Chain A
Amino acid sequence: MKYKIGRSVSLYSYQQEYYEGKLDLEGCIREATKAGARGIELLAEQMMDDFPIVTPEFKEQWFGWMEKYNAEPTCYDAFLENRIYDNRTLTLREQVDMMNRDIKIASELGFKTLRTLVATPLDVIEGSLSCAEDHNIKVCIEVHSPFSLNSGWAEGYLNMIEKTGTKNFGFIPDFGIFCKEIPDALREQALRKGASKEGVKIVDDAFKSRVENGFVKIDYDLNLGRAHKAYMEANGYPQLMEALKKANANEADYFYAGESFAYTWNDPKDIIDNIKYIYHTHAKCYNLTKDYIEPSMPIKEIVDAYKKAGHHGYLSTEYEGNRMLNDALEVDSIEQVRRHQEALRRAIEDE
């Protein structure tokens, strides 16, 4: 099928340099476009100082940068702080108001999609659909590991789409659901923190066996803590703990074991099955080698699924390896994003 896949960068990728004051917002946009991307994804709560207010000055700057760097806004990442008070959760009305506020900011800054997190209650999404329609925004729930497409969890949202007939809701898959290996940078960090070779091997073998035998998928449950616990149990977490205990594992081994459950492998054909509802993608990455390989995931195989499905939309680099390095090593997000954009370009353009 004919596809049109654009490349975007989530400015989240540059958080280390931004945090250290090495890049400002314009610098992030400049680097993203220098890396070959046209699309820009923003976490307003990370880099827009006056959030939730869009000042006329900011708006003018923002569109000025889009023009200067030949860029276009792709996705606005929202958070829905529905427990902003520590003594209660916001009422449904308050949550819908907050969601609508973000939809309006996204629209004002020229974004087409809005990322909402897995924790967003279904009735809040439903309540904001008319605002999304009025502002031409597609609200998309992030399919972030350990959540997955083709799961009981995703079914809940598909039912809602069917029930409401909405054209303003869909999915944003995150490439963390396509990890065939635990990120190598995470393994190296664990070893740096004192993990034992034996402990690391036990964790790696357990991950390998999950990949080979298939992950048990997570269910739909508004209580995310409970859903997550059930998911961990179904995927062999207690057995792994037992094996580590027997091997006299240390604290760093347990850290590595816990972290390993953040990554999952799903068949990229899940993308093809759900392409109708995929409006944007977080092309997550943790480490790109000099020859443009991401050791934890088969980029080409994943991108091929998008091509096969005839996807029209952006793949947005989301580099997240900084936290696996910054306890001891220098982070170079600019180079990592450049390499990932090149890897995406090759995968998109290769016949």
Chain B
Amino acid sequence: MFPKQMFDKNSFKNVNENGKIIGFSFDMKIQYYRGITLSIIRNIEVEVDEKSYPRDSILFTVNNETFTLDEMRTVISNRWLFGQYARVTVLCENGLSQGQHHIKCIQTIAPSYMPFQIVGPGELDFEIQEDM
């Protein structure tokens, strides 16, 4: 719905915890025209350089709360606002290598009134810079 405006190009980075890289993260906006409770987000799929990551390796953070995709199914009082960046963290050993990458991310959202789900993909070339 807003494929070109989905990602924050400058948000891609490796996630460092206690001196160890535990994954990578990026910020994105919703591919839908209103804000929603996290409970109607059915899936978020991440593929970088044609490698896809398992569903249970993905964490979603918005309004200072973090959930797994399965946990999100019961979240009805935290809304991902229209136009708001949420952070997606993908847990994977060593994160991504420095340099150029390509991401494809698909949001699957199930608005109650629709007889089908919205599948909103976005793609972007991005760069992982040297760790600060």
Would you call B83 an interface residue if the criterion is a C-beta within 8 Å of the partner chain's C-beta atoms? yes
Is the CB–CB distance between A118 and B113 below 8 Å?
yes
- Residues in B whose Cβ lies below 8 Å from that of A43: 33-34
- Render B23-37 as a binary contact track against A, CB cut-off 8 A, 1 for contact: 000000100011111
Docked complex: A282-336 residues within 8 A CB-CB of B? 323, 326-328
Would you list 29 pairs from A and B whose C-beta atoms are within 8 A, ordered by A residue? A15-B82, A19-B2, A19-B29, A21-B83, A45-B35, A45-B82, A79-B34, A80-B113, A81-B36, A81-B37, A81-B111, A81-B112, A83-B40, A83-B112, A84-B37, A84-B39, A84-B76, A85-B76, A86-B39, A86-B40, A86-B110, A117-B113, A119-B114, A224-B115, A225-B115, A323-B1, A326-B2, A326-B3, A326-B4
CB-based A-B contact count at 8 angstroms: 76
What band does the interface of chain A fall in when counting residues whose beta carbon is under 8 Å from B?
A: 20 to 34
Is the CB–CB distance between A80 and B112 below 8 Å?
yes
In angstroms, Cα B36 to Cα A87, docked, is 17
Would you call B55 an interface residue if the criterion is a C-beta within 8 Å of the partner chain's C-beta atoms? no
Q: Enumerate the 3 nearest inter-chain pairs by beta-carbon distance, A residue then B residue, closest first.
A: A225-B115, A119-B113, A83-B112
In angstroms, Cα B38 to Cα A86, docked, is 11
Least CB distance, B7 to chain A, in whole angstroms: 13
Is the CB–CB distance between A46 and B82 below 8 Å?
yes
Would you call A255 an interface residue if the criterion is a C-beta within 8 Å of the partner chain's C-beta atoms? no
Least CB distance, B81 to chain A, in whole angstroms: 6
In angstroms, Cα B111 to Cα A43, docked, is 15
In angstroms, Cα B34 to Cα A79, docked, is 10
Docked complex: B5-46 residues within 8 A CB-CB of A? 5, 29, 33-37, 39-40, 42
- Residues in A whose Cβ lies below 8 Å from that of B102: none
- Which residues of B are in contact with A by a Cβ distance under 8 Å? 1-5, 29, 33-37, 39-40, 42, 73-74, 76, 79, 81-83, 110-116
Sample of 10 more A-B contacts, CB < 8 Å, known A19-B82, A117-B113, A225-B115: A15-B33, A21-B83, A46-B33, A46-B82, A51-B79, A81-B37, A85-B39, A86-B42, A119-B112, A326-B3
- Option from B4, B29, B73 in Cβ contact (under 8 Å) with A86: B73
Q: Which residue of B lies closest to A320 (CB)?
A: B33
- Option from A84, A118, A327 in Cβ contact (under 8 Å) with B3: A327
Least CB distance, B34 to chain A, in whole angstroms: 4
Is the CB–CB distance between B113 and A47 below 8 Å?
no
Least CB distance, B85 to chain A, in whole angstroms: 10
Docked complex: A26-74 residues within 8 A CB-CB of B? 43, 45-47, 49, 51
Chain B interface SS verdict (over half):
loop
In angstroms, Cα B33 to Cα A12, docked, is 8
In angstroms, Cα B73 to Cα A338, docked, is 41
Would you call A351 an interface residue if the criterion is a C-beta within 8 Å of the partner chain's C-beta atoms? no
Given A19-B2, A79-B111, A326-B3, is A225 in contact with B39 using a C-beta cutoff of 8 Å? Answer: no
Is the CB–CB distance between A18 and B82 below 8 Å?
yes
Is the CB–CB distance between A46 and B35 below 8 Å?
yes
Is the CB–CB distance between B35 and A327 below 8 Å?
no
Q: Which residue of B lies closest to A48 (CB)?
A: B35
- Residues in A whose Cβ lies below 8 Å from that of B34: 43, 45-46, 79
Least CB distance, A222 to chain B, in whole angstroms: 11
Is the CB–CB distance between A228 and B115 below 8 Å?
yes
In angstroms, Cα B73 to Cα A84, docked, is 9
- Residues in A whose Cβ lies below 8 Å from that of B83: 18-21
Would you call A235 an interface residue if the criterion is a C-beta within 8 Å of the partner chain's C-beta atoms? no
Is the CB–CB distance between B81 and A49 below 8 Å?
yes
- Residues in B whose Cβ lies below 8 Å from that of A15: 33, 82
- Option from A51, A80, A118 in Cβ contact (under 8 Å) with B35: A51
- Residues in B whose Cβ lies below 8 Å from that of A118: 113
In angstroms, Cα B110 to Cα A19, docked, is 20
